[in-house]
Amino acid sequence: MGKAITIAQQKGGSGKTTLAVNLAVAFVRQGLRVALLDTDPQGSLGRWFMARRDRLGDPGMELSTASAWGVGYECEKLRKTHDIVLIDTPPKIDADLRPALREAALVVIPVASSQVDLWATDGVLDLAARESRPSLIVLNRCKAGTRLAEEVATAAAALADVAEARLGQRVAYAETMGHGSAVCETGRTAAAAEVEALAAEVLARLQP
């Protein structure tokens, strides 16, 4: 039976979908069977998947969608045939998010380098704790070497576990998203190295 990773953040524009697709491709490149579950009505993950299918024919992974009440059923079905199920969620914190958290072996919370983004993690962390699910904060769009990035990293570590791997503020993430691609497919770049390091860290946390 596979394991689900729920990507959640109350604040919009935090990079949830970008994180989901880049982790998905990194996992596929390691030979894992990956499914995507889009629970966000905005449907950005589904649009990325369709762009990928149009470009490649075989996207290399499966996509499903579900509203809040259908997440449990859909996730259970996908976990039977996949090693990893990545669940992308809408930018809100309410009862609708709980089914996606309940399914998660790990809750990944992207946080851009700002105090506002960090404040927005409280609701997700609280709900994840109520469901007894482990959380991992991922610092996203980091500007390396800046005082703000380090301040946010220090403050985040006081709230929950923070991934050692950080994703930088790079044009490559936006460019590849638009083509149904991911940074791992663009060669040995700094962005690819970041994602591969994060994927390895996430997988290590899924081990029993």
Give the pLDDT mean for 12-35. 94
Instruction: Encode pLDDT of 41-87 as tens digits.
Output: 889 999 999 999 999 999 999 999 998 789 999 999 999 999 999 99
**Burial class of 67 by CB neighbour count within 10 A (0 to 12, 13 to 18, 19+):** exposed
> Which pLDDT does position 60 carry in this prediction?
96
**Using CB atoms within 10 A of its CB, is residue 147 exposed (0-12), middle (13-18) or buried (19+)?**
exposed
Range of the domain at 46: 3-206
How far apart are the C-alpha atoms of 145 and 15, rounded to whole Å? 21
The mean pLDDT value for 126-149 works out to 86
**Average pLDDT along the chain:** 91
- What is d(CA 89, CA 28) in angstroms, rounded to the nearest whole number? 21
For the stretch 147-176, pLDDT in tens is 777 787 888 778 888 999 999 989 999 999
User: Could you give the number of structural domains in the chain?
Assistant: 1
- Cβ atoms of 87 and 7 within 8 Å: the answer is yes
Cα(124)–Cα(15) distance, integer angstroms: 15
- Percentage of the chain beyond pLDDT 90 is 67
Q: The domain spanning residue 150 has which CATH number?
A: 3.40.50.300
